[in-house]
């Protein structure tokens, strides 16, 4: 708190001025007493000398009282400031600030404490940011190590299968043409799975490490969904699903067309492979000045609540054996979530009465 001019009257400087004035008066008074003592020939001068003497004694007492007051105040402020300085030296947070007198030293002490408080807060914030950045870096390294381990694990199955089929073909000289063709078809299927896995890993890496290099533009989302619907219509009967779309004729979003295609392609492939339903429902649920809210649902079997919070994790599978049999890499929904986050949106999932529903937001084109 800054003091005004009136509150500074009892400052150390003013106190010293008063003290000097009193001492000057004391010297003048002593000189007068001395002078009158020499002039002893005037009647009644001893009464005057006595009065002057007592006056000087009073001035001395007042001077000593003022000096003592200033000294006590100075000592108290210096002791408080010493405790604060010790706390500052130890780098600890100053909890309860000592009380200082309303004088210049007290004002300076409070200013120093306030300055130290701001510096300590800034230092704490810097340390928190450093710890947060370090934690994020360690988390990224952990995720990368986990991703590498998962990739190695996922690669083993198709590679081992391809190696087994090829070894059987090499060692079995009496293998019929039909058996050889069947083994070649199985090797090709595993090669396709390897190709898809490498593509998905590349997409994940590009999203996490090089997202700033991915260009964004105005993209018509309806055109992308129409293309996916056309592809689904060409699938065999056992894999084909009806894609029901409730969107405006044109729905422009700000994003990357390849990633947007990957989002809805992965959601569609996931529904075809695992939902067990016959219909997919895509509709515009809401919009505001910045975002579209879109729902993607199916009328399949849904998933158990215990798996809801994990389906966006890399390589997470509800039924591992069935997922590998169907050729899934375990990265599809993780790609979906990372692509949504790259666009500045969000995604959530829940069970419907019949089937599963994803709710996602995408930014409007500017």
Stretch 198-219: mean pLDDT, rounded? 73
Q: How many residues does the chain have?
A: 366
**pLDDT value at 244 more than 90:** yes
Give the DSSP H or E segment for 232: helix 221-233
d(CA 302, CA 57) in angstroms, rounded, equals 102
Q: What is the DSSP string of 174-189?
A: T--HHHHHHHHHHHHH
Q: Are 158 and 190 in contact (CB under 8 A)?
A: yes
Q: Which of 79-88, 166-175, 178-187, 344-353 has the lowest mean pLDDT?
A: 79-88
Q: Are 184 and 212 in contact (CB under 8 A)?
A: no
Token representation of residue 154: 């996922």
Q: Which of 10-19, 128-137, 221-230, 254-263 has the lowest mean pLDDT?
A: 10-19
**pLDDT category of residue 124 using cuts at 50, 70 and 90:** confident
- How far is residue 33 from each of residues 21, 46, 52, 93, measured CA to CA in Å? 18, 10, 7, 59
Q: Which of 76-80, 123-127, 256-260 has the lowest mean pLDDT?
A: 76-80
Supply the pLDDT for residue 358: 95
Supply the pLDDT for residue 186: 86
**pLDDT value at 209 more than 70:** no
Supply the pLDDT for residue 321: 46
Q: Are 291 and 362 in contact (CB under 8 A)?
A: yes
CA nearest 70: which of 7, 14, 6, 8?
14
SS3 content of the chain, % helix, strand, coil (to 5): 65, 10, 25
Q: Are 267 and 296 in contact (CB under 8 A)?
A: yes
pTM: 0.54
Q: Map out the domains of the chain as residue ranges.
A: 6-102, 214-366
d(CA 73, CA 84) in angstroms, rounded, equals 17
Residue range 212-238, pLDDT digits in tens: 567 788 999 999 999 999 888 888 888
Residue range 273-294, pLDDT digits in tens: 888 899 999 999 999 989 999 9
Q: Are 251 and 284 in contact (CB under 8 A)?
A: yes
**pLDDT category of residue 117 using cuts at 50, 70 and 90:** confident
Supply the pLDDT for residue 291: 93
- How far is residue 153 from each of residues 148, 194, 214, 307, 317, measured CA to CA in Å? 9, 12, 29, 21, 14
Phi and psi torsions of 79, nearest 5°: -65, -45
End-to-end CA, the chain = 50
**pLDDT value at 303 more than 60:** yes
d(CA 221, CA 227) in angstroms, rounded, equals 10
- How far is residue 112 from each of residues 52, 86, 108, 116, 118, measured CA to CA in Å? 47, 13, 6, 6, 10
| Burial zone of 279 (CB within 10 Å; 0-12 exposed, 13-18 middle, 19+ buried) | middle
**pLDDT category of residue 36 using cuts at 50, 70 and 90:** low
Mean pLDDT, the chain, whole residue set? 76
- Of the candidate CATH numbers 3.20.20.80, 3.30.70.360, 1.20.950.20, 3.30.565.10, the domain formed by 214-366 belongs to 3.30.565.10
Beta bridge partners of 217: 255
The bridge status of strand 347-351 relative to strand 291-298 is unpaired
């Amino acid at each position: 708190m800054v003091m005004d001019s009136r509150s500074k009257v009892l400052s150390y400087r003013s106190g010293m001025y008063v003290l000097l004035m009193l001492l000057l008066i004391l010297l003048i008074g002593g000189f007068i007493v001395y002078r009158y003592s020499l002039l002893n020939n005037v009647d009644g001068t001893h009464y005057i000398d006595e009065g002057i003497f007592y006056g000087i004694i009073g001035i001395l007492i007042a001077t000593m009282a003022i000096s003592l007051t200033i000294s006590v105040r100075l000592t108290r402020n210096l002791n408080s400031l010493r405790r604060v300085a010790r706390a500052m030296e130890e780098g600890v947070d100053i909890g309860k600030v000592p009380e200082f007198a309303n004088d210049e030293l007290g004002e300076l002490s409070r200013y120093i404490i306030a300055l130290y408080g701001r510096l300590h807060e800034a230092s704490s914030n810097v340390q928190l940011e450093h710890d947060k950045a370090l934690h994020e870096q360690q988390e990224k390294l952990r995720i990368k190590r986990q991703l590498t381990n998962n990739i190695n694990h996922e690669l083993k199955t198709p590679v081992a299968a391809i190696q087994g089929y090829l070894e059987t073909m090499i060692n079995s000289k009496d293998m019929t043409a039909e058996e050889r063709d069947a083994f070649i078809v199985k090797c090709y299927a595993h090669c396709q799975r390897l190709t898809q896995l490498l593509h998905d890993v590349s997409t994940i890496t590009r999203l996490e490490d090089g997202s700033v290099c991915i260009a964004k533009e105005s993209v018509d989302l309806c055109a992308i969904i129409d293309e996916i619907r056309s592809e689904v219509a060409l699938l065999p009967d056992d894999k084909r699903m009806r894609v029901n779309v409730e969107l405006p004729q044109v729905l422009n979003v700000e994003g990357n067309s390849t990633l947007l295609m990957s989002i809805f392609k992965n959601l569609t492939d996931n529904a075809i492979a695992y939902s067990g339903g016959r219909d997919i429902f895509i509709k515009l649920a809401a919009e505001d000045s910045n975002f579209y809210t879109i729902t993607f649902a199916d009328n399949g079997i849904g998933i158990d609540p215990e798996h809801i919070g994990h389906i966006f994790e890399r390589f997470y599978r509800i039924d591992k054996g069935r997922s590998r049999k169907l050729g899934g890499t375990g990265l599809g929904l993780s790609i979906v979530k990372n692509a949504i986050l790259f666009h500045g949106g969000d995604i959530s999932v829940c069970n419907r009465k019949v089937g599963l529903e994803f709710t996602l937001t995408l930014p409007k084109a500017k």
